[in-house]
Structure 1
């Protein structure tokens, strides 16, 4: 879009409501350091890259916490069918999968209610944390920027951010003045499931009033795979007479569409605006050939910010979101279960004036949502969850080379279940929790190009409703889940330490992390096979489920993350960069010594980028080692090496800017099964594929 540099800087400063609430600032992201002329994954509009505003409330470029920002062409070229797969492979980030349509981000081996998913800084309620077959209702084509914060720095978003925060940012509420009309159009075709995707956006204004309109549509066919859908080990368990799918994954197609409208009033020192967006989806369950999921979400948001105030506070920010979500699981045309989740979240943040050497902010967050599961898979009772939280952070620039930060959060969580006539939940009772989190961070510049940064935090997480009250069949995982109504808070001490280098085109970071949990809530199989009524059945019974209960254990997570980029050749307009990304997570149950489930193995990605004027090319090779550290009742995953190529070309037609690209994925046609996927042994990732796409801005 044709916007001047002042506007780009203003949007980057104002875009994210996360920026007042994290303890520390974040490391430069891989994509943040690239120049458009250099590299096809750079930010649009030349070398000016948006400032990473998450965890950077004071506008300081000396960043502390490990994090990644993805935006511009880098985001366009990574977009896939799900949010999780789009982010998969970034440092410390993997994905759940339940076929090509479903993927929720995993950070440092933690998923579900330990990862906080936000839209523009507040919750948009769904059911993705309850079950692996529930998609995140976000279309990657409509996202302008993704910010990922890992480790202790995310704790000011509460216990549900104990593993990290993923904040998707759009401009559906314009946060700065717009004069005239601009917009963008995206279109792509291809991939292993022949995805046909398109999105369009138009923004305009008169310098005070601004508007935003967008729409998107994505339709896919069944996912093509290199061989059998079931793995070798699974086919051995299936027996010789089983009918085995080959060449594609049954029931893996889908379609989703939606759009948004928004408007705001802007002035020199702030803005206020309102938006609405809707999302519709219909996709198949890869574990059940006759089951379709139909999803609908409505989300209304209000946001406002006032700057340059007199008095004790120099800036106030308010964000509010209300969501009405529903999805139905339809078996052979008959609705079996209906999941609903509706509620709101509001957040007020105030940046105070400098108090001696301290700069910082305080805030309050309020949320309430009601979740229900009605029908055959009434896994949990209708439950209302209310959360009230206070938070704050302070930062002290001790010297030009040394900075300290500290933050804390107190929250009160109340769970109120209602049996609604279902005898399985008749004994469920209200639970209240008071959770406290605190963190310290520091950054020290060893030299102008070398720095060391560290964080340590203590976090408490209240049990989620399903960890307390679950009592029903869960076909998506083949379990009958039983919650622990007496479960206590999950408590963790976490730390990370990183060494960084930043000199022009050459940038790198290597870091280690460690988390130790008391009362880590996880599932334990009892060894019994049961039916939908939790009655014991013999082995071999059709539709038999593994009975599993939630139990608190001691657990630890530790690992390493690497992110680096080096300019290895530059002559005239020819430029070559080499990038290396790697991560490893080790997670175990300290009570038994057993590995925790669904942990990605050691991974490494080597990429070479070539730029010559408007032409760009990228070759990327990812290798994941085998994962043999799995619980006793899980199957291991084999290693794989995936090769990808991207070719890009940028050009202008009149007042429009164009990006054309061709992307080849899994060119060696590897049988890829993510260790983090609950359906890895029945639904691998896509085989060799090519996608073509075009993006234009005006």
Structure 2
């Protein structure tokens, strides 16, 4: 299993360089991967696989959605429901197996319910993104069996400042003709620190190289190949912002923030449907340190979210989705017991979800969870051992209704166990290994869905008899690092004894779920359990190949995942193909440039309802120039060229791949500043 070592500042690694365009040697700053380890160790000391994007590197990788922003990380792809809705896919897993968090607290939206629902986070104001690849259920629950994405925005400042700092960014162009801007400010007097941010995003319909409908879909279904050169109904208009504050204590801080997120965008799958989304969120966070020998630190995080989005057909509201709730955690670090250090944590989640209107295919419901976990580390000279456990209780209640039958309730008690080891062979080489047992309670829609889901073009049927999803996983990795050079190679294997998936039943039904009728022309899909296995390889490396007049780095990456339904021997749907890539990053004085090339191979391992996806070669190029400015102010201009070969690119992980390709050749220009 590959870990992004975060020790450079280029295509594959997520650490910004303090003087990215300087000819002097790079400054390697340790990144604290708080998502992957509650004890706050540096990222190259982690046993679990974690990648981090922040600062300048995040700015250059930033896209309009979270999923697209993270696609440069090995093992990560996206669900891509057009340019406005995209969740990360990690090692072939998405939805309820990838946990998306904001500042360590889960996002309450409707993005895991349906591919056309955007994640309620805009990358424009995010300061850092941590990605854990592989099971993280020990700390974050069964919905993290595939991985974790934690977007960090510092809206509650953790460190006091005396003065004013900030950053701003504008960008124009791209295949969607985006016009985006964001500003982030922090001001303080050494005790009270106030944060404010605001952003605006507006895009047009996406320019595409050819037809929206693929030739394979046209030949199979007889669909006309229309909409050449433009992806109809793919524009967006979004804005948002936040205000927060914290008070510095003698050993710690306490703070509060309020944020709002608004996004109105086309759904692509339906030319006359818009989604009007709004999310308001209150966050509270506090940390108390140096408390004593028994408990030396306590950390509290919680958030209340009021989320709603309405689906508009020809300007009229057809369906409304609401999600309200509170989620949080209390975590205590104990004093060292000899060399042993660790934490014990309590997490809770209470939410109420409602779907009202024409496309309400799930009943109103409530989800309540409570969890207790423990995580410990034991360093023994060159060897570090980690181990821990988690027990959780989840109750999912359906209100029922005319279309869903009587009220129902299910309770589950998942547990997870994990152990890992990091062994330093010498100062350059190290080995890691992880073993885990993970369990997940079924989600409300896996239990209670019963209706037409337009986004998947299926009649989805849940099963109230579903049991816990169970899996066992193992991964191993070898790492090497010396100066500016580093390399890692890993492999993983996850075996599900009970994998909850949405499988086509082979039956056609009408909008009432009735088979054998004249209007029975909708494919029925059922949530059910199967045996499955996910296995794959990940590799990445960074090598300094020239260091005389400026510096030139070569970056390599590759990943492969294979997922199989063990009951049938068939491939599971929407699995990313083999991908190999390289990048060249050259820097001299104020000037920087990079060339990124990614080859995605043809995916012909498909399930029975998928079409084969052709391979593609994606070539992007970036130029940056750091403008002369006063010492405490940095201003950098950048230009990024996308898809230089102007290829028709269809991601196999997208359910819309045969009607919604990626953007064509385009150029985006931007300006970012910090002070």
RMSD: 1.9
Does residue 600 (structure 1) correspond to residue 576 (structure 2)? The answer is yes
Moved more, 523-532 or 623-632: 523-532
- DSSP 3-state at the match of 1:152: coil
| CA gap 1:154/1:650 in 2 versus in 1, 3 angstroms | farther
- Equivalent residues of 2:508, 2:515 under 8 A apart: yes
The equivalent of 1:123 in structure 2 is: 106
The answer to whether structure 1 residue 561 and structure 2 residue 565 are counterparts is no
- The aligned residue for residue 194 of structure 1 is 177
Q: Greater shift after overlay, 667-676 or 63-72? A: 63-72
Partner of residue 85 from structure 1, selected from 68, 75, 80: 68
1:9-47 C-alpha deviation (Å, 9 max, x unpaired) = xxxxxxxxxxxxxxx99844642466454569x99x954
SS of aligned partner of 1:305:
strand
For 1:247-290, what per-residue CA distance to the aligned partner results, in whole angstroms no more than 9, with x for missing partners? 00110111110100001101331000000000111101111011
Task: Give the alignment's TM-score, normalised by structure 1.
Answer: 0.93
| TM-score using structure 2 length | 0.96
Aligned twin of 1:515: 494
Partner Cα distance (1:188, 1:299) in 2: 27
Given candidates 560, 569, 573, the residue that maps to 1:584 is 560
1:274 to 1:439, Cα distance in 2 relative to 1, 3 A: same
Q: 250, 267, 272: which is aligned to 2:254?
A: 272
Tell whether the 8 Å contact from 1:301 to 1:322 is kept in structure 2 after alignment: yes
Give matches, 1:66-465, under 5 Å: 66-239=49-222, 242=224, 244-399=226-381, 401-419=382-400, 422-465=401-444
- Long gaps (5+) in structure 1: 1-23
Query: Can you list the C-alpha shifts for 1:639-665, whole angstroms capped at 9, x where unaligned?
Result: 000111000011242342111100000
Q: Distance in 2 between matches of 1:666 and 1:430?
A: 49
Give the superposition deviation at 1:532. Answer: 1.7
Partners of 2:273 and 2:20 lie apart in 1 by 47
- Structure 2 residue 671 is the aligned partner of structure 1 residue 694: yes
Q: How much has 1:605 moved relative to structure 2?
A: 1.3
- List aligned pairs for 1:505-654, cutoff 5 A: 505-536=484-515, 544-571=521-548, 573-654=549-630
Partner of 2:641: 664
Question: C-alpha separation between the residues in 1 aligned to 2:240 and 2:524?
Answer: 38
Asked if the contact 1:605–1:621 (Cα under 8 Å) also holds between the matched residues in 2, the reply is: yes
Partners of 2:193 and 2:636 lie apart in 1 by 26
Secondary structure, counterpart of 2:492 in structure 1: strand
Shift of 1:332: 1.3
Q: Deviations over 1:434-464 (max 9, x none)?
A: 0100100001111110000010100000000
CA distance in 1, matches of 2:306, 2:430: 45
Structure 2 CA distance, aligned partners of 1:288 and 1:124? Answer: 26
Instruction: Compute the displacement of 1:535 (Å).
Output: 2.5
The 2-side partners of 1:193 and 1:331 are apart by 23
d(CA) in 1 for partners of 2:492, 2:297: 34
The answer to whether the 8 A contact 1:152-1:455 is kept is no
Answer whether contact 1:25 1:55 (CA < 8 A) is retained: no
SS in 1 for 2:523: strand
Paired with 2:455 and 2:535, the residues of 1 have a C-alpha distance of 29
Residue 476 of structure 1 corresponds to which residue in structure 2? 455
Deviation at 1:244, TM superposition (A): 1.4
Deviations 1:265-319 (A, max 9, x none): 0133100000000011110111101111000000000000000112410000000
Structure 2 gap segments, 5+ residues each: none
CA distance in 2, matches of 1:558, 1:283: 36
Matched, 1:51 2:32: yes
Q: 1:537 to 1:682 in 2, by over 3 A?
A: farther
Instruction: Determine the C-alpha separation between the residues in 2 that align with 1:52 and 1:442.
Output: 17
Residue 681 (structure 1) aligned with residue 658 (structure 2): yes
Deviations, residues 570-596 of structure 1 (Å, cap 9, x unaligned): 11x411000001100000100000100
Q: 1:377, CA displacement in angstroms? A: 1.1
SS at match of 1:669: coil
* Aligned-partner Cα distance in 2 for 1:77–1:499: 29
Shift of 1:49: 5.0
Shift in Å at residue 521 of structure 1? 0.6
Q: Secondary structure at the match of 1:360?
A: strand
- Give the structure 2 partner of residue 21 of structure 1: none
CA displacement at 1:243 relative to structure 2: 6.1
Count of residue pairs the alignment pairs up: 666
Provide the C-alpha distance between the structure 2 equivalents of 1:104 and 1:413, rounded to a whole number of angstroms. 24
Task: Tell me, in whole angstroms, the C-alpha distance in 2 between the residues paired with 1:53 and 1:373.
Answer: 35
Residue of structure 1 equivalent to 2:467: 488
Aligned partners of 1:217, 1:435: CA distance in 2, in Å?
Answer: 41
CA distances 1:185-231 after superposition (whole Å, capped 9, x unpaired) = 11000111001000011110100001001000000000000000000
Q: Is the 8 A contact 1:38 1:575 kept in 2?
A: no
Give the deviation of 1:426 after TM superposition.
Answer: 1.5
Query: 1:482 and 1:441, CA in 2 relative to 1: closer, same or farther beyond 3 A?
Result: same
Mapped partners of 2:16, 2:635: distance in 1: 18
CA-CA distance at 1:528 after TM superposition: 2.1
Kindly indicate whether the alpha-carbon contact (under 8 Å) linking 1:219 and 1:255 is maintained by their aligned counterparts in 2. yes
For 2:353 and 2:38, locate their aligned partners in 1 and report how far apart those are by CA, in whole Å: 33
